[in-house]
Structure 1
Amino acid sequence: MTRSILVVDDDQKTRQLLKTYLEKNHYIVRLAQDGATFMAEFERHHDELSLVILDVMLPDTDGFALCQTVRRRSKVPIIMLTASSDDTDRIVGLELGADDYIAKPYNPRELLARIKAIHRRTGLDQAAPIRHYRFNGYTLDTLERTVIAADGELIRLTGMDFQLLRFLVEHAGEILDRSLLAEQTRGRDLGPLDRSLDVQISRLRQRLGDDGKEPALIKTVRGAGYVFAAEVAVISDPAQP
């Protein structure tokens, strides 16, 4: 199971801030703005989810109803969020099967601590990390820090370029903003005129034979960032076809 979290909250700013914060702490984050969207995402990704975060107040339902539905179908841990200071919400949520509860407004560091505590209890943090990924004929080895082409050629990357590629692969299909990518590879935010990340993306495309004018692997999302568009598979044996 991956460190993958599904968050439902009707406030767009809260959702995006939480997504950015958790991604910086190496979680895969999926978002929903209401109950219907949440259930669609849950149906699509329930096998890979390691945690669900439910806001109590939603426009089309409430977090308690979603908690009941999830608990009938899955043992995935649940954290409830509520703006109410009344203990009743906390008690009801726990009785319905939630694993933890946090009141709004909350410090993101406290929520992260609760998430880590649940993952420790469920044994997720002790799980073996994924070693091999395959995409577009390439095999990425996270332990050896290598990328091998389909014909067996070793693709030579700098340490920073490998780190960027690994993060892109681990978050395939997600739009990643430039600041997040810079934080992951450089440990700092980019200045308004800093184009070093764009140069690094261009160099990485060249190493992977990705056409810079019409890239198929690392695509630019204008005004938003980049997305790794290739289909990524986790493999146990790099020798398998």
Structure 2
Amino acid sequence: LEVCRKIRSFSRMEGVPIIICSARAHVSERVKGLETGADDYLTKPFDPSELVTRIQVLLRRSGHPVRETRKSIQSGELKLDPRSYLAVLSGRTLSELSPREFDILYLLVDRSPDVVNRIDVSKVVLGREYDGDSRVIDMHVAQIRKKLGPTHSRKILTIPGKGYLWSK
């Protein structure tokens, strides 16, 4: 609640939607959160797709542009659902993928058979310009390969000097 108060105290943050996600489900806690300045209050556990939908609703109501919703995609035995950040490989849920790793994997699969360079990964997934020296993307790709397992990790190809490619 203190974070909510601080955000609301800055005039330049006026109009920024706030959703509180908390395990405290009692009515008095929810009311206190909303009175403090939150626009919505979601109690744990919740489905990630519900959170995404609530965010989209708040952004739409506040006049902020809402990105076009990405569609579920499939490549062989890999299914990716970006609304729930769910990755299923050969019937097994890859729950250990972080949201950033999911976004990188989604980008590679979505753009396949094209090579995705580090500049695009940095802009689309990290939300910043590629600094040309950062190995953050390489570390994320290494983690994705590890989590895909020995058979499927080979589907992410490194193209030297170019970027990464999802091999169908």
Give the TM-score normalised by the residue count of structure 2: 0.53
Shift of 1:136: 3.4
Q: Which amino acid aligns with 1:160?
A: R
Q: Which amino acid aligns with 2:89?
A: A
- RMSD of aligned residue pairs (Cα, Å): 2.3
Among residues 156, 164, 168, which one is paired with 1:226 in the alignment?
164
Higher helix share: 2
1:168 lines up with 2:108 in the alignment: yes
Between stretches 215-224 and 197-206, larger displacement belongs to 215-224
Check whether the contact 2:116–2:165 (CA below 8 A) recurs between aligned residues. Answer: yes
1:181 lines up with 2:121 in the alignment: yes
2: CA distance between counterparts of 1:137 and 1:229?
A: 12
Among residues 80, 93, 104, which one is paired with 1:153 in the alignment?
93
1: CA distance between counterparts of 2:155 and 2:115?
A: 13
Sequence identity percentage? 21
Matches within 5 A, 1:119-130: none
Q: Secondary structure at the match of 1:161?
A: helix
Check whether the contact 2:70–2:83 (CA below 8 A) recurs between aligned residues. Answer: no
2: CA distance between counterparts of 1:171 and 1:142?
A: 15
Check whether the contact 2:122–2:128 (CA below 8 A) recurs between aligned residues. Answer: yes
**Structure 2: 5+ residue stretches without partners:** 1-67
CA spacing shift, 1:151–1:173, aligned 2, 3 Å: same
Among residues 135, 147, 155, which one is paired with 1:217 in the alignment?
155
1: CA distance between counterparts of 2:137 and 2:160?
A: 15
Q: Secondary structure at the match of 2:87?
A: strand
Give the TM-score normalised by the residue count of structure 1: 0.38
Q: How many correspondences in the alignment? A: 101
Check whether the contact 1:155–1:207 (CA below 8 A) recurs between aligned residues. Answer: no
Among residues 206, 210, 221, which one is paired with 2:146 in the alignment?
206
